Amino acid sequence: MDRALLSWPSPDPANPYLVRLGLALGERGVRVRSSRYLAALCALPRGARWLHLHWPEWMLHDPSRARYRARTAYLFALLDLARAQGVSLAWTAHNLLGHDDPHPDLGTAGRSALLRRCQVVFGHFPSAESDLRALGFRGRFVLTPHPHFADDYTAPDRAVVRAALGVADGELVLASVGSIEPYKNLAAFARAFREAAPSTGVRWVVSGRASDTSAARSLTDAVGGDPRITVRYGFAAREALSALVTAADAVVLPYRDFYTSGAAVLSLSLGTPVVGPARHHLATLAGEGFFVPLDPVDGPGVARAIAAVRAMDPGARDAARRHAMATDWPATAAAVDAALFGAAE
């Protein structure tokens, strides 16, 4: 049986997820075809039995409600064209809804319409199923925990990278990495950090490309020139991200809105503990010695988080890495292959 799969969007060099999944599926004999243009896949499926979607909200968001509706209608026209040619739909729920959606009501309606068309949805944590059912999903839910990124981000010598950062003995380093966007709530964390952090012995380093000038301005204003906070605006190569995450005592994810956190997976893959709200994907880390809950993001909450990171067991870094490494790409590919083609895991 020919196991042919369409995948959209096409792999992004900045995010290893689709690259790794495609390679692992290929090793199982699944033919994966992707394109920058969803229309090309839907118009010419070439015998593929499934279209596997990731982040379809990228096609939809627009400040204009009229254009948002038009984009949504176009997306579903393409999907229905593929379905009319015998292609079934699957989706991986990286996000339940789109981040910073300019029209949440339209986004929610669109997600429900997508779920009504999907026969299979993959989720990274068990409670995702109930969220999907609440939006109207009636198909098959398949649990596929997010695999590690250890093959894409290599941990350098921690003492070397801390020395390069000028970290003093006993100094605590917090880091936040990835694109700087409103939903990540970094400005709120900056204000809380300035209120709660000791005057010395703690620093916070942010590295990422701002989604727009307003996101950068909001964070810069919140930092207010505090010397304990460093913001490195712009694209960071994998080596630089690996160095910063490895040097950090914890990666802070003060997100207001999130579902699955690739930054958390990256951090744990490098053995770095995580601070963030104990919701959705991060709820699966609750009670682990390498996770510190942070909610709400305010001065007292940040003070408690700093104290908890300082008090972590020395073995927390090894435990974090073991947790990340427990799920690999071959296992995820096997689950996808089994769900879509009935192949033995």
pLDDT reported for residue 278 = 96
The three-state secondary structure class of 203 is: strand
Chain mean position to CA 343 = 28
What digits encode the pLDDT tens for the residues 276-297?
A: 999 999 999 999 999 999 989 9
CA nearest neighbour of 327 among 31, 125, 163:
125
Task: Check if the beta carbon of residue 333 is closer than 8 Å to that of residue 147.
Answer: no
More confident call, 2 vs 263? 263
Residue 296, preceding peptide bond in cis (omega within 30° of 0): yes
For range 313-323, the mean pLDDT:
97
What is the Cα–Cα distance from 232 to 65, expressed in whole angstroms? 34
Whether residue 41 is predicted with pLDDT greater than 90 in this model: the reply is yes
Global pTM reads 0.94
**Most distant CA pair in the chain, distance:** 65
pLDDT reported for residue 345 = 53
pLDDT reported for residue 2 = 82
Query: Domains in the chain and their CATH numbers?
Result: 4-147+327-341 (3.40.50.2000), 158-325 (3.40.50.2000)
Over the range 243-253, which residues count as b (16 or more CB within 10 Å of their CB) and which as e?
bbbbbbbbbbb
pLDDT reported for residue 1 = 55
pLDDT reported for residue 344 = 57
pLDDT reported for residue 121 = 98
Query: 211 falls in which pLDDT band (50, 70, 90)?
Result: confident
Distances (CA, A) of 30 to 120, 135, 178, 313, 328: 17, 30, 31, 43, 17
Query: 343 falls in which pLDDT band (50, 70, 90)?
Result: low
Kindly compute the dihedral angle of the four CA atoms of residues 207, 208, 209, 210, in this order, to the nearest 10 degrees: -80
H or E stretch at 88:
strand 88-92
What is the Cα–Cα distance from 277 to 279, expressed in whole angstroms? 6
Six token digits for residue 65 = 């409600």
pLDDT reported for residue 13 = 82
